[in-house]
Amino acid sequence: MASLRTIRRRITSVKNTQQITRAMKMIAAARLKKAQDNLMSSRPYSTKMKDTTESLVARTDTGTHPLLERREKRRAVLLVISSDRGLCGAFNANIFREAVRFLKAQETETSLVLIGRKAQEFFKRREFSIKKEYKDIYNDFSFENAVEVGTDITGDYEKGEIDSVFMIYNYFESILSQNTTLSTLLPIGSEKKETDDDTTATESEKESASVDFICEPSQLEILNVLLPRFINTQIYRALLESMAGEYSARMTAMDAATENAAELIESLTLTYNKARQASITKELIEVVSGADAMQG
C-alpha cells in the first residue's frame, strides 16, 4: 500500500486539478452564452440568404457568373474548421475522422484549407496536401475573418485553380450535441441540385420556384455583389457554429472531469483513512507488545 504522504500528495494534486476543470467549465459556459447569442442572431439571415441565392441561381444560366460555372472536377478543396484549443472531448476528433474519410474517398486531387490550430497540428503529421492555413482566426473574431477566407477561396475558383470547394465543421445542435456537417460551397447551387426531390417539395418551396425575379440594374451586377457575400456568410455562420459547439463541448467535458475528480478524491480519501487506521493499529500493537515484553 502507498505511504500516507504519497496518498496525501495525490489527493492534493487531484483537488488542484478539480479547481482548474471547474474554472474552465465556468469560463466555457460564459463564452458559450455570447457565442450562442451571436449564432442564433445570424442563423435567420444566413438561412434566408441561402434560400434566396439558391432560388435566384436556379433561374440563372451557369455561364452568367464564374462562381456558378460547373467544370470537370479535377482539383478540389476541403475547408476544415476546428478549434484552437483542446480539452473539448471528441469535438475535433469527429471533424478529423470525417475529413480523412472524405479525402480518402475522393478520386480527384483534393487539398486542404485549415482553420484552427488543432487541424493544422493534425494534418501536418499526415500525408495530405495543405493549400493554406489560417492562424489565430478566433482572436478578436469578426465577419472580416470570414471575408478573408471567402475572398481567397472565390478568387482561386474564379481563376480556375480549383473546381469545387467543400466545407466540414461542427453544427451546433444543442449544448449536448454537435453534428459533423459536410457541405458544398462552390459551385454555388450544386448542393441543392444534388439533394432536391420534386416529389417531396413543400408547397412554399413550389410557390417560391414559380416566382420570377426582375433584376435591376442588371443580373450580372447583382450576382457580382450577392454571390461573394453569400460565400462569406456561409463561412461566417460555420465559424459561429463551430465556436458555439467548441464551448459547449468543453463545458461538458470539464463538467465530467470535475465529477470524475470528485469521485477520485473520495476514493483516495477512503484509501487514506484505511491506511491511517492500519498505521495507528500497528503502532498500538507495537506499544502494547513492547509494554508486555518489559513486564515479562
Task: Give the model confidence (pLDDT) of 202-231 as tens digits.
Answer: 454 445 555 566 666 777 788 888 899 999
| pLDDT in the model for residue 204 | 47
Residue 2 pLDDT grade (very low, low, confident, very high; cuts 50, 70, 90): low
| pLDDT in the model for residue 62 | 72
| pLDDT in the model for residue 212 | 64
The yes-or-no verdict on residue 26 having pLDDT over 60 is yes
Residue 150 pLDDT grade (very low, low, confident, very high; cuts 50, 70, 90): very high
- Across the range 252-280, mean pLDDT stands at 89
- Burial of 184: CB neighbours in 10 Å, binned 0-12, 13-18, 19+: middle
CB crowding 212-238: b at 16 or more within 10 Å, else e: eeeeeeebeebbeebbbebbbbbbbbb
The yes-or-no verdict on residue 119 having pLDDT over 80 is yes
- Across the range 105-121, mean pLDDT stands at 91
User: Which residue among 79, 81, 88, 268 is the active-site one?
Assistant: 88
The answer to whether the pTM exceeds 0.85 is no
88 noted as active-site residue: yes
**Is residue 15 helix, strand or coil?**
helix
Domains in the chain: ranges and CATH: 23-195+210-251 (3.40.1380.10)
The yes-or-no verdict on residue 76 having pLDDT over 80 is yes
Residue 74 pLDDT grade (very low, low, confident, very high; cuts 50, 70, 90): confident
